[in-house]
Amino acid sequence: MDHDSTSPTLGPVSRRRFLGGAIATAGTAAATLGFPVVRRAAAAEIFIPIVTGLTGPSADWGIHLSQGYQLVFDEVNARGGIKSLGGATIRYQVFDSEFKHDVEQKLLRKAMSMNPVVIVAGASSQGNLVFAPVAEKEEVIHIAALGLGTDIPAAGPRWTFQMNAGVDVLCNVAVEFVGAIAGETGKAPRRVAIMFEDSYFGKSGGDAYKVLVAKQSAWELVDTYSYSAKQQDFSTIIAKYKAAKVDVVFQANYVQDSILIMRTAETLRFNPMAIIGAAGGSDTLEFLKQLGKTAEYFFNVAIFPGNLNQNPKIKPLADKYEARYKRPLFQANSMGITGAGVIVDALERAGSTDKYKLRDAIAKTNLKLGDSYVVNPDGVRFGEIGKNMAIRGIMTQVLQGDRFAVWPKQYSVKSPVWPWPAWEARA
C-alpha cells in the first residue's frame, strides 16, 4: 500500500489525516503555512520518495519522521527552492510500508522505478539492511533515515548513508554511564540482565550488550532474554529478575514491549537500580504518554534529549514544528528534520542532481547543530562507508514527566537519580 502525502498536514496530525492527504503543490503548502508563495511557470522538480511505516505497531516513528522531512522540504520550497539549481522545488511522496518488511521492499523498488534523486527509507533497520545492497547495485542514493542496525552502512558502502548511530554506539553509552554513576555514587550494580526483541535491531543491541557486559569484571550477567516484539506477557521473566535481585536491566526494544515491561515491573514491584533503553521504543512520546508516572526515572540513551528544544540554535525551528504538529521535537521527528537538512545542503553544494555528484556531496557532509536544519546535538559527518560518525548518544532520564539529558556532563541539564526510588517509595 502506498499513500501520496505531499499535502500540508497541519496541526495535530492524526494517522487518518496524515494518510488522507492528497498530492498538493508546493505553492499550496506554502500558502497554508503562511510563507510567501513562489510560483514558477516551469520549475524543475527534485523527486524524493519517503518509504516508512505510517500504520502498524510502530507508526509513531514513521509518522513523525515523515513530518520532519515534510516541514523542511515545504519550507525550502516556500523560500524559493534549491538556489544552486535555479529554484528547483522538492516534490516528496510518502509511502506507507505498514511496518511490514515485504511491503516495504516492494515500495522501495517501486520508488526506485520513479526516477528519484534520493530515496529515504524509514525506521526499519531490517528494511534498510535488505535494501542497501539493492541501492548499491542500482546506484541509487539511499538515506537510512532512522534504522539503528549496525551492519547497514557496510551493506551499501557507496550509496547508503545511515543518519542514525548504530545501536552498538548507544549500548556503549549505557554501559559507560552505569560505570561512571557507580563510581560517583558508590552504588555499583553486581547483577545485570539483557532483554531484547528478536528483530534485526533488537539482536544488534543484544549482541552489543553481551560484548560490553563481558568486559565488566565486577558484573555478573544473570540472564540474556530474547523475545518477539508481539509478546504480551513479561511477568515470568520480570519475576525471575526480581527473585535473582538483578540490579540493572539493559534493553533494546520496540514501543509496546517496552511499555509492557515497565508496567510489569511496577505491578510486580521489581526494584532494580535501573532499567535502561537504547533508543528504540522507549525513545518515543508514546512511551511517555501511555506510561505516565510509571515512566518516571526511566533511563534511555537518546540522540535528541527533550530539553534541547530550548537551545537557541534550533529553538525557532523547534517552535515552528510544534506550532504545526502540536508536539515537541523528539527522536524520530528530529531525525527527519536533520535528514532533510542533509539532503538540502548537499543539493545546494552539488548544484546538480547528477547522482554521482550528489552522492559525493552527501559523503562530504560536515554539519553541526543549527547548520542547514540540523537539530541533532552531535551533527552529521559520514565515515568512509556512509555511517554518521558524529553521533555519540546522550543518557536521558524521565524526570517529572519529561526527558532530560543527565550524562555526559557536557550535555547534562539535571543530575541523574541513581538508583531508582523503589516503587513503594514513589508518590
Query: pLDDT tens, 255-305?
Result: 889 999 999 999 999 999 999 999 888 888 889 999 999 999 999 999 888
Q: Would you call 29 helix, strand, or coil by DSSP? A: helix
Cell of residue 267, nine digits: 505491578
Beta bridge partners of 243: none
Provide CB contacts within 8 A for 319, sequence distance 6+.
Answer: none
Q: Is the pLDDT of residue 37 over 80?
A: no
Cis preceding linkage at 419, omega within 30 = yes
Which pairs with CB-CB distance under 8 Å and at least 24 residues apart come from 282-286?
282/251, 282/253, 282/258, 283/330, 283/331, 284/60, 284/61, 284/255, 284/330, 284/331, 284/332, 285/60, 285/327, 285/328, 285/330, 286/60, 286/255, 286/259
pLDDT given at position 43: 56
Q: Is the pLDDT of residue 33 over 90?
A: no
Cell of residue 26, nine digits: 508546493
pLDDT band for position 39 (cuts 50, 70, 90) = very low
pLDDT given at position 184: 96
Q: Is the pLDDT of residue 323 over 60?
A: yes
Q: Is the pLDDT of residue 321 over 60?
A: yes
pLDDT given at position 252: 94
DSSP strand pairing (380-381 vs 274-278): unpaired
How many percent of the chain have pLDDT more than 90? Answer: 75
8 Å CB contact between 301 and 173: yes
Question: pLDDT tens digits for 145-163?
Answer: 988 888 999 999 999 999 9
User: What does each C-alpha distance from 68 to 114, 150, 275 come to in angstroms?
Assistant: 22, 23, 29
Nearest to 265 by CA among 288, 287, 227, 237: 237
pLDDT given at position 211: 97
User: What does each C-alpha distance from 161 to 128, 154, 188, 258 come to in angstroms?
Assistant: 10, 10, 38, 28
pLDDT band for position 5 (cuts 50, 70, 90) = very low
Chain mean pLDDT for the chain: 89
Q: Name the residue type at position 328.
A: P
Mean pLDDT over 393-407 rounds to 94
> First and final CA of the chain: distance in angstroms?
47
Question: Which is more confident, 134 or 24?
Answer: 134
Question: Which is more confident, 58 or 82?
Answer: 82
- As a whole number of angstroms, the longest Cα–Cα distance in the chain is 71
Q: Is the pLDDT of residue 30 over 50?
A: no
pLDDT band for position 197 (cuts 50, 70, 90) = very high
pLDDT band for position 93 (cuts 50, 70, 90) = very high
Question: Which is more confident, 185 or 37?
Answer: 185
pLDDT band for position 23 (cuts 50, 70, 90) = very low
- DSSP string for 101-153: HHHHHHHHHHHHTT--S-EEE-S-HHHHHHHHHHHHHHT--EEE-S---TTHH
DSSP strand pairing (191-197 vs 248-252): parallel
Question: Which is more confident, 33 or 196?
Answer: 196
- The DSSP 8-state label assigned to residue 175 in this structure reads H
pLDDT given at position 34: 35
Question: pLDDT tens digits for 98-132?
Answer: 989 899 999 999 999 999 999 999 878 899 999 99
